[in-house]
Amino acid sequence: MAAPETSTAAVPTLHTNNTVRNAFGGVLSFFILLLIGVLAFSIRLFSVIKYESVIHEFDPYFNYRVTQFLTKKGIYDFWNWFDDRTWYPLGRVIGGTVYPGLTLTAGTIWWLLNSLNIPLSVETVCVFTAPIFSAFASWATYLLTKEVKGAGAGLTAAVLLAMVPSYISRSVAGSYDNEAVAIFALIFTFYLYIKTLNTGSLFYATLNSIAYFYMVCSWGGYTFIINLIPMHVLLCIVTGRYSSRLYIAYAPLVVLGTLLAALVPVVGFNAVMTSEHFASFLVFIIIHVVAFVYYIKGILSPKMFKVAVTLVVSVGLAVCCAVIAVLIALVASSPTKGWSGRSLSLLDPTYASKYIPIIASVSEHQPPTWPSYFMDINVLAFLVPAGIIACFLPLTDASSFVVLYIATSVYFSGVMVRLMLVLAPAACITSGIALSEAFDALTGSIKFQLPGVSTDAEVDAGETSSDTTEAQNDEVKAEKPEETSKDRRSKKSKKKEREHVERPSAKAKVKTKAEKKRLLALPLEASAVSLLLLIVLGAFYVVHCVWAAAEAYSAPSIVLTSRSRDGLHVFDDFREAYSWLRHNTDVDDKVASWWDYGYQTTAMANRTVIVDNNTWNNTHIATVGTAMSSPEKAAWEIFHSLDVKYVLVVFGGLVGYPSDDINKFLWMVRIGGGVFPHIKEPDYLRDGQYRIDSQATPTMLNCLMYKLSYYRFVETDGKAYDKVRRTEIGKKYFKLTHFEEVFTTHHWMVRIYKLKAPKNRIRGKTKKSKSKTSSSSSSKTSGTKKKNPWH
């Protein structure tokens, strides 16, 4: 598939002897893997070619900043880094709250390159970390699938993974986020688990724990591993597949893995304390009980064993009940039942929206829509069921793991868009298995029914479960359908006759295995057509993936483009605003904005922020949310108490950029109202509708966010027509009393305001209210009139 030249060369060698063929197949699959790596890397470079070599989005900027710190200050300072530029005035202990895997990886790569005298900037290394690791991830997929279903399936799965859009979306060049390395770590950990399960080798078990450690370092998603593997172990035990290999695959992982995980500062004692890890320990106990039972069974006579079982079960049940009761009481006594909010929202998808607006507000924590499945895994969605079926023929320990993996990840992806990423490798593996099995069956039938091929070769091809032949089969079938279809008509009639003749003689000659194969063989036309259809399907997939990589997922989101009649427009407002801040404000000034822009502000503008994307302190975010939804004076007081100098808002109304602060504003109200009850969501809604036009509520029209977004907006077109909300705004002419506009970017996407200093003087009474106040004061003085001695 990936290497047409080598595959044509491979055809003649089919007939040489087995060892040479295996060797050749090994070389071939090595080159194919190499090309898969190149493919995985290069398909992710669209963002660099179309835009430039920049870090994308929000979180990557934080990771980039941390990596810069690491390369400058070294690992110990990184570990102990107390960051005073963020979450002002609380600060953040970065070393203890960050998953260090990605940073350390990129830092190591940078250090290696530099010590080899390759002077790359840290930014370049960060930009290209994700593509490099996606190549690694596809190789890991090859290894994992090879363990499950052989090399052919492995290669197919690897090539599918190399360009699955869901994974591309998180690993294009510049998308320097934890997931970039974590997916590799995830697949590799699974591979080593399966490898241990298949071999029973303690060496692989140890490697597995180390891979698990790397995963724990890299991503919070490691809890998926530590829950999925116990589930699989339990499944194996329940289905009577317990073996010493299973024990070796599992027990060292739990012991070593937990110890290693506890070394990561951000995890620490969570590795033994939180409910996410509970399943692994429960299964750890169960597997020991089962191992013990098997051991007892081995040394006792069956009769004695029965007696022992009844005895142990009756006593054990009582003890178990007591222990479980205590456990349940313990767990139930904590309000969240010992689970973290994010994990709870996985189990109960409505949990977050009910109780934690800050989790629900993140767009990637929303449940995905159906089209997003098609967008993200495309044809794999149709191949997955076939793959699952293939996993059951025959069901091994390894293939049952794949089935379990796909089943759980489908559920999780249905809860959160973000976890589509976990589904993608599972879908690639099952689809790889499905495709490979289908090609195997179809080419097998074709080969069997082709006149030119000798039965010996056929038997060999059918017999060998070795990787190489299948790999070659994959290559061959790509060439053959065209040839066969050309001369199909002429040979068609002859073939059938020949088969009839050949069959009885072959029966005598060939082993029963070949006979079986023959019975399973499909008609030639059907197989040829199916092959063709499968190739078309694959072609669709490739086209879609390349399109997704080039168009959908390569935008860095800090630089936006839009194509209109008069050509391409580039909106570089974010960087414009951040560099303004960097060059025009004091180094210790504090900038307040909604938390989305916190990481970018610290990384690009190097200014202290109040809240950022690491949403660890809900109260602090609620304070900012409250300020944004308060009237000007109250907001000024909140910001002033936090020493804020500048307020940054993102406004898309002029150019039609939909993810601006006005569209996020209801979340600010909700999060703010969650902590400060005087902010009430209904005050901002007119009849349950969120609107900013003339029908909007006065609270809405007077809140700070509205004012900062729409200040002087009417001067742009004279009508103040908001292109995102598609309406004219409600209040067009107003003045700011406590804030002053200091910078607005070219397309008005980022607007920066400065807090005015408290007034130098306090006025006497104002002229306008003079008449009023004097009348009221005269009525007041009439009360004191009686004390006046002159009346």
Partner 1 sequence: MGKLWVISIASISILLPFLCNAFSPESPTDRRLLVLLDDFAIKSSHSIYFNSLKSRGFDLEFKLADDPKIALQRYGQYLYDALILFCPSVERFGGSIDYAAIIDFVDSGHDLIIAADSNASDLIREVGNESGVEFDEDPSAMVIDHISYAVSETEGDHTLIASDDLIKSDVILGSKRIAAPILFRGIGHSLNPANNLVLKVLSASPSAYSANPKSKLSTPPTLIGSAISLVSIVQARNNARILITGTLSMFSNRFFRSGVQKAGSHTKHEKSGNEQFLTEISKWVFHERCHLKAVNVKHHKVGETDEPALYRINDELEYSVEIFEWSGTSWEPYVANDVQVQFYMMSPYVLKTMSHDKKGLYSTSFKVPDVYGVFQFKVEYQKLGYTSLSLSKQIPVRPYRHNEYERFIPAAYPYYGAAFSMMAGFFIFSFVHLYSK
Which residues from 212-251 bind partner 1, rule CB under 8 A? none
Distance between CA atoms of residues 664 and 644, nearest Å: 21
Between β-strands 727-728 and 590-592, what pairing exists: parallel, antiparallel or unpaired? unpaired
Q: How many CB atoms sit inside 10 A of residue 669's CB?
A: 26
Task: Please list, residue by residue across 126-159, b when 16 or more beta carbons sit within 10 angstroms of its beta carbon and e when fewer do.
Answer: bbbbbbbbbbbbbbbbbbbbbbbbbbbbbbbbbb
Q: How far is the CB of 605 from partner 1 (least distance, A)?
A: 15
Site string for partner 1, 661-680 (x = CB under 8 A): --------------------
Q: Render the burial of 326-349: b for 16+ CB within 10 Å, e for the rest.
A: eeeeeeeeeeeebbbebbbbbeee
Q: Round to whole Å and give the CA distance between 294 and 305.
A: 10
Q: Taking CB under 8 A as the criterion, which residues in 405-434 touch partner 1?
A: none
The nearer residue to partner 1, 641 or 659, going by C-beta atoms, is: 641
> Would you say 12 or 758 has its CB closer to partner 1?
758
Q: Is 88 in the site for partner 1 (CB under 8 A)?
A: yes
3-state secondary structure of 686: strand
Q: Is 788 in the site for partner 1 (CB under 8 A)?
A: yes
CB of 755 to partner 1, least distance (A): 15
**Tokens matching residue 601:** 């502000």
Q: How far is CA 520 from the centre of its chain?
A: 41
- Structure tokens, 282: 């429960």
Of the candidates 486, 761, 768, 786, which one interacts with partner 1 according to CB under 8 A? 761
Least Å distance between CB 290 and partner 1? Answer: 21
**Given candidates 348, 456, 515, 588, which one binds partner 1 under the rule CB under 8 A?**
588
784 binds partner 1 (CB under 8 A): yes
Mapping DSSP onto H, E and C, the string for 396-438 reads CHHHHHHHHHHHHHHHHHHHCHHHHHHHHHHHHHHHHHHHHHH
Residues 323-352 that bind partner 1 (CB under 8 A): none
> Of 167-175, 320-328, 358-366, 758-766, which segment contacts partner 1 by CB under 8 A?
758-766
The DSSP result for 479-509, as a single string, is: HHHHHHHHSHHHHHHHHHHHHHHHHHHHHHH
Q: Which is nearer to partner 1, 678 or 785 (CB)?
A: 785
Which residues from 764-783 bind partner 1, rule CB under 8 A?
764-765, 767, 770, 774, 777-778, 781-782
Q: Does 584 bind partner 1 (CB under 8 A)?
A: no
Among 106, 153, 137, smallest CA distance to 43 is for: 137
Shortest Å distance, C-beta 785 to partner 1: 6
Site string for partner 1, 608-647 (x = CB under 8 A): x--------------------------------xx-----
Q: How many residues bind partner 1 (CB under 8 A)?
A: 39
Please say which residue, 93 or 559, places its beta carbon nearer to partner 1: 93
Looking at the Cβ atoms of 269 and 790, the one nearer to partner 1 is 790
Q: Does 294 bind partner 1 (CB under 8 A)?
A: no
Copy the structure tokens of residue 785.
């009139």
Is 791 a binding residue for partner 1 by CB under 8 A? The answer is yes
735 binds partner 1 (CB under 8 A): no
Q: In this complex, which beta carbon is closest to partner 1, that of residue 269 or of residue 370? A: 269
For the bound state, the minimum distance from the C-beta of residue 358 to partner 1, rounded and expressed in Å, comes to: 20
What lies within 8 Å, CB to CB, of 179 at 6+ separation is: 170, 171, 219, 221, 421
Residue 561 interacts with partner 1 (CB under 8 A): yes or no: no
Residue 419 vs 638, nearer CB to partner 1:
638
When asked if residue 587 is in the footprint of partner 1 (CB under 8 A), the reply is yes
CA distance 649 to 661: 7
- Buried b or exposed e, range 612-633, using 16+ CB within 10 angstroms: bbbbeebebbbbbbbbbbbebe
Q: Which is nearer to partner 1, 95 or 387 (CB)?
A: 95
Q: Which of 552, 626, 556 is nearest to 592 (CA)?
A: 626
> Smaller CB distance to partner 1: residue 147 or 612?
612
DSSP 185-201: HHHHHHHHHHHHHHH--
- Residues within window 466-495 making contact with partner 1, judged by CB under 8 A: none
Q: Which residue stretch of 144-152, 386-394, 581-589, 687-695 sits at the interface with partner 1 (rule: CB under 8 A)? A: 581-589
Collapsed DSSP state (helix, strand, coil) of residue 754: strand
Decide: 711 and 736 in contact? Cβ < 8 Å: yes
Candidates 335, 564, 762, 768; binder of partner 1 (CB under 8 A) is: 762
**Interface with partner 1 (CB under 8 A), residue from 4, 74, 91, 316:** 91
Min separation Cβ 465 and partner 1, Å: 38
> Residue 108: is it exposed, middle or buried by C-beta count within 10 angstroms (0-12/13-18/19+)?
middle
How many Cα atoms occupy the beta-carbon half-sphere of 679 within 13 Å? Answer: 27
How many CA atoms within 13 Å lie on the side-chain side of 421? 25
How do 750-755 and 644-650 pair as beta strands? antiparallel
Q: Which parts of 249-288 interact with partner 1 (CB under 8 A)?
A: none
**Among positions 35, 90, 331, 559, the unique one binding partner 1 when judged by CB under 8 A:** 90
Q: Which is nearer to partner 1, 350 or 781 (CB)?
A: 781
Sequence-distant (≥ 6) Cβ neighbours of residue 85 within 8 angstroms: 602, 606, 607, 608, 609
Burial 698-733 (b: 16+ CB within 10 A, else e): ebbbebbbbbbbbbbbbeeeeebbbebbebebbbee
Q: Using the rule CB under 8 A, is 763 a contact of partner 1?
A: yes
Residue 115 lies near partner 1 (rule: CB under 8 A):
no
**Which range touches partner 1 (CB under 8 A), out of 89-97, 248-256, 294-302, 517-525?**
89-97
Cβ–Cβ < 8 Å for 64, 603: yes
Could you tell me the smallest distance in angstroms from the CB atom of residue 764 to partner 1? 4
Pick between residue 231 and residue 642 the one whose CB is nearest to partner 1.
Answer: 642
Q: Give the interface with partner 1 as residue ranges (CB under 8 A).
A: 76, 79-80, 82, 84, 88-91, 93, 95, 586-588, 608, 641-642, 757-765, 767, 770, 774, 777-778, 781-782, 784-785, 788-791
